[in-house]
Amino acid sequence: MEKKFQLWFWALLSLVAFSCDRNDEYINYTDPNLPAPAQVQDVRVIPKNGGAHIVYKVPKDPNLRYVKAVYETAPGTVWEVKSSYYTDTLKIEGFGDTQEYEVKLYSVGKNEKESEPLVVPVKPLIPAIQSVYETLAVSGTFGGINVKLQNPDRANLAVVVLLDTANNGHYSELTTYYTAADKVNFSVRGMDTEEKKVAIFLRDRWNNKTEPKESVVTPLFEKLIDKAPWKALELPGDNFQYVENYPLYKIFDGGFGYCCLFASDQFQLPHTITLDLGQPTIISRMKTWLHPEGAYQGSHPKDFEIWGSNSVNPDGDYVDLENKIYRDNWVKLGTFSSFKPSGPGPVTQEDRDYALTLGEDFEFESGIPAVRYIRFKTLNTWGIPSGRAQVVIQELTLWGQDGQ
């Protein structure tokens, strides 16, 4: 046992001695007296929308810690980007136009000493804020104005809506809509039918701004349809049967949350429910609020139709129950698809805000007839494209006009 201990002791002592010998070759990388690393070489610039990728050859210097780029996107607005010595590319972004800019590249040592700057000219391609701005379309809509944009690169943008409230050329901010969706479509409501002067500009996360685009629009008349006379109908062929304590009438009870939603049993799609509005109504717009925790998944209706009629027969008016085809006293008022603001992929906070807080907004084409009865025909859900499915709707609200 004593011999074994001695062997371990001498082995440990040899290791310490070896470490001491190696210490003579150790380089103190934080030595302030070490010179700055050499500049990067063989620089190549690849223009990108609103920026560029700068590719280079890293200098062979054991003192190199990282390479950084310093540049201005506007006078006095300085940005700095760093890249470790393990990579050979710097991503430069944040430019609001296609002018030529100077980017200074520095090699930085472990003691933070910097090389002399290597100045590289960069000429970005058209930035997203400008290309998206070119697609901006503004129009009057029911109760307000509608804004549409195409944002294929899904850039993070703020759409700032200004209103000339006094009609004197001076604008004040009405709202700001934040989005990273590829297709932007939103409306600002609560306006009368008087002609409005509006101006809209875009802002990105580097605070680049476009010029305001001025428009003159006239909102269309609509009013909130009173739900007091509404009734939930239980007609043969409809799928009004519900689970737990979530009957059909809760779809228009004005409540939100688990207390106040309609949740159907599972049925073969298509799925139909029918409501009596109490009087003929010309519908201009509809909002739906979906399952409190199930936005864009499970029982959330994805594609659906709205049908209308001024008469209902006791048999439900079905001529093809399997495909939910009705008699000629029913007319299709519109075909709609649920809109997910962030596009394909995981459900984001922007998606949840739209579906569960603001409510999904659906507009009907002008010229549709006044109807007393409406049918919500779900073709598929986000979780079930076909087959048997449950449909959950938290609340349904309509806007429009009294029928003639």
Last residue of a domain, one of 184, 217, 250: 217
97 within domain boundaries: yes
Instruction: Specify whether 265 is located in the same domain as 212.
Output: no
Domain boundary among 198, 217, 236: 217
134 shares a domain with 108: no
Q: Verify that 195 and 151 share a domain, yes or no.
A: yes
Residue 344: pLDDT band by 50, 70, 90 thresholds?
confident
pLDDT bin (cut points 50, 70, 90) of residue 107 is very high
The percent of residues in the chain predicted with pLDDT above 90, rounded, is 74
Q: Is residue 1 part of a domain?
A: no
Is residue 158 one of the residues assigned to a domain? yes
Tell me: do 207 and 341 sit in the same domain: no
Q: Residues 299, 313: one domain? A: yes
User: Mind listing the pLDDT tens digit for each residue in 85-103?
Assistant: 899 999 999 999 999 999 9
User: Which residue from 312, 289, 237 is spatially nearest to 268, judged by alpha carbons?
Assistant: 237
Residues 204 and 109 in one domain: no
Number of domains forming the structure of the chain: 3
Identify whether residues 198 and 144 lie together within a single domain: yes
Q: Which of 217, 294, 287, 215 is nearest to 252 (CA)?
A: 287
H or E element: which one contains 128? helix 128-133
Whether the pLDDT of residue 5 is over 60: the answer is: no
Q: Is the pTM of this model over 0.85?
A: no
| Residue 72, phi then psi, degrees to nearest 5 | -115, 135
Q: What is the domain extent for residue 195?
A: 128-217
Residue 138 located in a structural domain: yes
Contact 235, 312 (CB under 8 A): yes
How confident is the model at residue 272, as a pLDDT? 97
Query: What's the confidence (pLDDT) of residue 26?
Result: 41
- CATH assignment of the domain containing 286: 2.60.120.260
Tell me the pLDDT tens digit for each residue of 15-48. Answer: 444 444 434 444 444 677 889 999 999 999 999 9
**pLDDT reported for residue 20:** 46
Q: Let me know whether 289 and 266 are in one domain.
A: yes
The reply to whether 234 and 369 lie within a common domain is yes
The mean pLDDT of the chain is: 90
**Per-residue pLDDT, 75:** 92
Other CB atoms closer than 10 Å to residue 347's CB: what's the count?
16
Could you read off the pLDDT of 243-280 as tens digits, one per residue?
999 999 999 999 898 889 999 999 999 999 999 999 99
Q: Which of 172, 199, 217 is the last residue in one of the domains? A: 217
The answer to whether 196 and 220 are in contact (CB under 8 A) is no
